[in-house]
Amino acid sequence: MEKDQSYRPRFHIQPPQGWLNDPNGSVWYRDRYHIFFQYSPDSPLGSGRKCWGHYTSPDLVHFTFEGISIYPDHPLDQNGVYSGTAWVTDQGLELYYTGNVKHPGNYDYINEGRGHNVLRVKTEDGYHLSEKEVLLENKDYPGDLSCHVRDPKIFEEDGWIHMLLGARSRDSHGGLLLMKSKDRDHWEIEREFFPDDFGFMLECPDYFTIDGQKVVAFCPQGVDTDDWHYQNIYNSGYLFLSQEISAASDETLRKEINTRDFREWDYGFDFYAPQTFETPDGRRILIGWAGVPDVPYGNGPSIEEGWQHTMTLPRELSLRNGRLYSLPVRELEEARSRKLSWDKEHERLDSTCLDIVVSADAAGKSLHLQINEDLTFTVDGKSKMASLTFLNDTGAGRSSRKAKLEASEGFRNARILIDRCMIEIFLNDGELAFTSRYYPADKTGLSLSIEEPYAVECYEVGDTITIS
């Protein structure tokens, strides 16, 4: 008998079975988007082989699972093909990643006993890979760093190819390691940088330019919660830089890379390890893992179905009001299969795969939205505080998350995308985002209640994921 798959999403990237986490190697190459990701096919709990899975898409809406791309079959990645990035050259596509090794013995696996190596594979067609090349090992990194140096991001700047790596020092401070190369084969240390107040590890670094603004992004681990900041055990976000990261002085970086100016990408329970890439028409797209490591809440219902975790929807970034806004890529509107009728007298919608738009006639108002009897999303027009709250165990242990509107006056609009067990909320044209897993008892439809007489448009979203 086949397992029940009632919670499996229809329009989010997910594993065919097993465990999915960090997106890697997101890139447009040869008329197609390639999204690689960390993948444990053997268990929905993440045990067993740690590989790279592979999805492709012609349009950022319809995705096809292409199978496992990279297996942990080399002495320097034998315990896992970990996070990395893609780089397009005149000769083809190059994939850089961290090869994980755990040596047997009585080690702490922080300062001793672990290998984090940078490996590379090449491909001309995006599917068939070359032999693995080892570019860097722990012995090639500065001696004050722990074994945890990982997640290479490749970019070109000032005539050099650079590699930005997340790092943990031997005395457990989080930082960044910047390396450079002329030929992408031989790498030298350019600088290491450790800010004062970003916990014990900076994971999954990214670096890009949008509308002329330099942006560095990463995932700090070990930063204490401060009211509505850093509410998850591990968080992810970005900072603006005034100049190129390779040219900036340590004094400039120390001034600009700090917790005070760090802006989080998402304030929900399930968002981590995002990666950005560029479309052929120049848009900057962000996609993340709809999960967080080491959390006290879970995904029991999807685990029972034999799989765990999804990607977030691809999000288009824009620079406005001194911050980055994010909204689902405009192409997603093509996935709307039909418009559903809704009014306050007939609140039920006969679908759990929905794209809902709520609009106020003026800015500065409040919002109280309730889904079924178990989830509320509110915006207080006076305090400008937005809150996502689970009222019972349909959150599988999730409780409440909040964030403050700082660039606008109260509620103006919201885009709410529900995909069976996934919910992504974008507030005020993408100023704030909340991503969470959600397990409603009713798998056939939901009730939507909005206190104010706002304009509401509801669309059902069709299947966009192909898993053969």
Any idea which residues carry the catalytic annotation? 22
Distance CA 261, CA 213 (A): 15
Backbone conformation region of residue 420, classed left if phi is above 0, alpha if psi is from -120 to 50, else beta: left
Residue pair 326/316 in contact by the 8 Å Cβ criterion: yes
R_g (Cα) of the chain, nearest Å: 22
Name the β-bridge partners of 52: 38, 70
Terminal alpha carbon distance of the chain: 19
Q: Is residue 254 within a helix (H) or strand (E), and if so which, with residue range?
A: helix 250-256
Residue pair 428/366 in contact by the 8 Å Cβ criterion: no
Strands lying side by side in the sheet with 353-359: 336-340, 455-461, 353-359, 413-419, 422-427, 432-437
Least Cα distance to 401 among 229, 222, 260 occurs for 229
Residue pair 42/48 in contact by the 8 Å Cβ criterion: yes
β-strand pairing of 323-328 with 422-427:
unpaired
Q: Residue 350, class by beta-carbon neighbours within 10 Å (0-12 exposed, 13-18 middle, 19+ buried)? A: exposed
Residue pair 203/222 in contact by the 8 Å Cβ criterion: no
The DSSP secondary structure of 161-225, one letter per residue, reads EEEEEEEEETTS-EEEEEEEESSSSS-EEEEEE--SSS-SEEEEEEEEEETTEEEEEEEEESPPP
